[in-house]
Amino acid sequence: MPTLTLIQAVNDGLHTSMKEDPSVHVFGEDVAKKGGVFLATENLETEFGTERCFNTPLSEDGIIGTAIGMAMNGLRPVAEIQFQDFIFPAFDQIVSEAAKLRYRSGGQYTAPMVIRTPYGGGIRGGLYHSQSGEAYFCHTPGLKVVIPSTPYDAKGLLIASIADPDPVLFLEPKALYRSVKGEVPEGHYTVDLSTTRDVREGGDVTVFCYGAMVPVCTKAAESAAEGGIETHVVDLRTLLPLDEEAVLDAVKRTGRVVVVHEAPRFCGFGAEISAMIAEHAIEYMEAPVIRVTGFDTPFPNTLEHHYMPDHRRVLDAIEHVYNF
């Protein structure tokens, strides 16, 4: 079984889906000959031709509008937005058109399409190349929002997303593109959407995280174990729709919860987890939920290492809820 980086696994997933299904088309800014900014689409144009892997103008609303039209007419488009920060010109196309097609047509039409985009910090990209906007889209019924954290999940979740009958926003943590490696099966396999992944078992504290925060939380859990605190680390993987049953089961196991994401704190995804716990599992709680997040400021450049949660901030939160 080959060992791949996360970005290689994304490329492998695209290649596998395009090879199996001629309706799959990949397009976006500089994705063809160049292979994209991060080389996620490298060699796809060479193998599948310019009709199935092609460059587009620098127009995000045009990219997504084109994908919607293709999806409604029997194709499986995979549109790349070069950085998640650039997705906002296409916001209306995504939330008002793609996400609403099934509902507004009474189930006659849908938009089986994937929007791939790198998100988050970790590469010193500054305020226009480092944002984490997942919460904007998790507020939109009709979309699925998926975030892998391992090469295995990146390929399996991507293949599942391409085959899904509804639009999927596939957010790729660029901080992990080449910093994590793992075994990835050759050929076709899928990881079910709307499922969580137990990263580490533990009975004292539960930590919910996703994307680039998964290795951060794992390191914090290992440090906590040295002090006698066993931490259950859960990778949420699919934020929308969320596996609420799995989340609540994990909460009930420990009664102490930390939620970690690099997006700003206010109205971030951690607030939804906190509210869910308050509504459905408050009687199991031994301490208040603690959120470890980015700050409510634009994403900084030189202070990126202060903005993004690190294992020390997560460890402090784990120790706080444990000793409450």
> Could you list the active site residues?
129
3-state secondary structure 279-306: HHCHHHCCCCCEEEEECCCCCCCCCHHH
The secondary element (H helix, E strand) that includes residue 238 is strand 238-240
CA atoms within 13 A on the CB side of 274: 17
d(CA 278, CA 224): 25
Tokens standing for 35? Answer: 């292979």
Residue with tokens 């292979």: 35
Helices (H), the chain: 6-20, 44-48, 60-72, 91-92, 101-104, 134-138, 151-163, 213-226, 244-254, 269-280, 304-307, 311-322
Cβ 157 vs Cβ 191: under 8 Å:
yes
DSSP-derived pairing of the beta strands 114-119 and 168-173: parallel
Nearest to 231 by CA among 243, 220, 245: 220
Angle between helices 213-226 and 311-322 (to 10 degrees): 50
SS3 string, 49-80, reads: CCCCEEECCCCHHHHHHHHHHHHHCCCEEEEE
Q: Is residue 183 packed enough to be buried (19+ CB in 10 Å), middle (13-18) or exposed (0-12)?
A: exposed
